[in-house]
Copies of this chain bind each other. A is one copy, B any other.
Amino acid sequence: MRAGDLVEPFPTVGLSTDALTAARTIGEHRLPGLIVLDDDGAPYTVLGGSQVLRFMIPGYIQDDPTLARVYDEDASDKLLHKLSSRTVADLLPRRQDRDELPVVDADATTVEVAAVMAQLHSPVVAVLQDGLVLGAVTVSRLFEHLFPDLPSDRRGRDE
């Protein structure tokens, strides 16, 4: 079994994708983030939902989230507007704070995929073929393959 056999579609955005579209894409998919591609379509970094929130939420509230209770609906709406006319590039942290996007080739073995996830403490790896992103393998997809005998019968065989 190779990475290319386990790969699943994973949402990608470009550096110039508008920030609101990126946030909506995270909400639409049940995934914690997106793969960001550079202008050549090569994988660049991963944009986690919490990073979008770090951009939106003022620093003093991140330091003490209980202060958020003073925000009424109007003030909350203003936070959302911080994403308007911004791009994905604006949301990314400074280079040294960026999450490294783990990548493997489509012919990587499952142990290699596991080792990359373990090394980078990442729940997802992008899968490349000829330099382009085919999609990603998530840790739950990998475990579904590695540990197929479920303790319950809640899941169908072909799901």
Task: Give me the interface of A with B, judged by CB distance under 8 Å.
Answer: 20-21, 23-33, 48-54, 56-57, 61-63, 65-69, 71, 75-76, 79-80, 104, 108-112, 114-124, 138-152, 154-155
Contacts and interface: CB of A to CB of B under 8 A. Distances in A.
A156 to B, nearest CB: 11
State the number of copies, please: 2
A59 to B, nearest CB: 9
Contacts of A52: 143
Nearest to A139: B49
Chain A binding surface SS class: helix
A123 B71 contact: no
A54 B76 CA distance: 39
Contacts of A27: 140-148, 150
A121 B24 contact: no
B28 A150 contact: yes
A110 B75 CA distance: 12
Q: Which 4 pairs between the two chains have the least Cβ-Cβ distance?
A: A49-B139, A27-B143, A32-B123, A65-B115
Given A32-B32, A65-B112, A66-B112, A139 B53 contact: yes
